[in-house]
Amino acid sequence: MSRQRLARRIGRHDRERGQTPTEYLMIAGIMTAIGIIVLAWVFFPWRKSMQGVTDCVRTDDCQATGAQ
């Protein structure tokens, strides 16, 4: 049995072999966008709390900074 007949019989064609470069780029772009959103969502609150801890250590006045 030829390769083409076998592919037709099991429902696959030669042009349907995995993802195209466009699909890979779309997936990579979506993952990058999600990563940027997650980092922005986590980084800014973390930065504010770390600034409070730094001020507490630097000035030795943790009551004024709210970092206890």
C-beta separation of 26 from 32 below 8 A: no
Q: Is residue 38 part of a domain?
A: yes
Q: Is residue 67 part of a domain?
A: no
Quick: pLDDT tens for 56-68.
888 877 776 565 5
Q: Is residue 62 part of a domain?
A: no
C-beta separation of 51 from 44 below 8 A: no
* Domain total of the chain: 1
pLDDT higher than threshold 60 for residue 4: yes
User: Which residues, in sequence order, are CB contacts of 13 under 8 Å at separation 6+?
Assistant: 7
pLDDT higher than threshold 60 for residue 6: yes
Tokens representing residue 17 in the block: 């072999």
Q: Is residue 21 part of a domain?
A: yes
- C-alpha distances (whole Å) from 36 to each of 21, 39, 42, 47 are 22, 5, 10, 16
Quick: pLDDT tens for 22-60.
999 999 999 999 999 999 899 888 888 888 888 888 887
User: What range defines the domain where residue 16 resides?
Assistant: 3-57
Q: Is residue 31 part of a domain?
A: yes
